[in-house]
Amino acid sequence: MTETEPRSDVVLTAEAVTRHFPVRRGLAQLLRRQRPVVHAVDDVTVTLRRGRVTALVGESGSGKSTVARLLAQLQPPTSGRILLHGQPVAVRGGRPFRAYVRRVQMIFQDPFASLNPVHTVRYHLTRALRIHGTAGRGPAERADALHRLLERVALTPPQRYLDAFPHELSGGQRQRVAIARALGADPEVLLADEPVSMLDVSIRLGVLNLLRELTERLHLAVLYITHDIASARYFADETLVMYAGRSVEGGDSETVTQRPAHPYTRLLVGSAPDPDRITGAAPPAVPDRGDGEPPSLIRPPAGCRFHPRCPAAMPRCATDLPPRLDVGDKPGHWAACWLYDRHTAASFAGAGKGDG
């Protein structure tokens, strides 16, 4: 949250959350370590605001889905807190958890797997309405509620879809039903984990547009998980970039995608060509490449986790963990990179003058 924004806009926050998974015994023995863990997420903070979309971007295995599961309370954090309207929540089971699940709904990547093939759309939506106590009092009210849900996701006329089975719908229609089912809970937050990556390219835009419209019309706070940084520019208000379990850059989406500061973000943007990219004044020079693979999360590199791949790495990058540092003059734009440390940048520039 920036200083100037009213606190009431913040709906859900993951505050400095860490999630480590114990490694299976066989592998632990093989590695001859005491109790090794997978560092899936380390010290990540994400803030979701009313009427805004926040994109969580990174390559496979960077920890995006784990952050979503922590926010959904499907798993507890190893450390850190989940705050709903500023209040800590750590509720598993019982009424408080049911109330939480109603307010924080997830949309999954695979609409084929998330709907039961033997049940109709009517069944799926009625069940959601009943579970969350939003089904109305009698058959007429329930029918109204069902129609409203389908109209909200632009499946009209509703009668055409209510008695359809999942296999009778297209992938995009199925994902719209999954979104309608989530809306049946009357939530405040949607956690959308790669919601369009399994859909045909031709229908992705329609589903993203729908989510955008719902965000604005219903004042939802939306987390949009994606490995496609170009779509974050189009769809999200803010973007947070993750690498190997850590958040490495954040800010408004236009700035992060058009003027990426962290060498990893620049690598991501460089490999997702966007003809509209505005270059503007250049941040510290970094070659537009970064060879290699993401590191092991069982023994992540010390210092900056990107240093083994980073074309701009300096000696301290291998030992010191970079904090969030402000970038340029755009408020709220930060990168966890020593290039933006004023002292380091000065000595780096000084060393550069002697080169060649």
Asked if 54 contacts 222 with a C-beta cutoff of 8 angstroms, the reply is yes
Closer residue to ligand ATP in complex, CB, 223/297: 297
Q: How far is the CB of 338 from ligand SF4 (least distance, A)?
A: 4
Give all strands of the β-sheet with 246-252 in edge-to-edge order. Answer: 104-107, 189-193, 221-226, 52-57, 238-243, 246-252, 334-335, 325-326
Contact code string over 5-44 relative to ligand ATP, x by CB under 6 A: ----------------x----------------x-x----
Residue position matching structure tokens 């955008």: 212
Give all strands of the β-sheet with 37-49 in edge-to-edge order. Answer: 37-49, 10-22, 79-84, 87-88
The pairing of beta strand 104-107 with beta strand 189-193: parallel
- Partner that binds at residue 338, options ligand SF4, ligand ATP, none, CB closer than 5 to 8 Å by kind: ligand SF4
The residue within the footprint of ligand SF4, chosen from 322, 325, 333, 334 (CB under 6 A), is 322
Q: DSSP state, 133?
A: T
Closer residue to ligand ATP in complex, CB, 52/69: 69
Instruction: Identify which of 37, 61, 70 has the alpha carbon closest to the alpha carbon of residue 244.
Output: 61
- Partner that binds at residue 307, options ligand SF4, ligand ATP, none, CB closer than 5 to 8 Å by kind: ligand SF4
- Partner that binds at residue 46, options ligand SF4, ligand ATP, none, CB closer than 5 to 8 Å by kind: none
Q: How far is the CB of 149 from ligand ATP (least distance, A)?
A: 28
Cis peptide before 157 (omega within 30 of 0): yes
Phi and psi for 278 in degrees, rounded to 5?
-100, 130
Q: Is 101 in the site for ligand SF4 (CB under 6 A)?
A: no
Contact code string over 301-320 relative to ligand SF4, x by CB under 6 A: ---x-xx--x-xxx--x---
Asked if 189 contacts 106 with a C-beta cutoff of 8 angstroms, the reply is no
Q: Which stretches of the chain bind ligand ATP, using CB under 6 A?
A: 21, 38, 40, 58, 60-66, 227, 297
Q: Which stretches of the chain bind ligand SF4, using CB under 6 A?
A: 262-263, 304, 306-307, 310, 312-314, 317, 322, 337-339
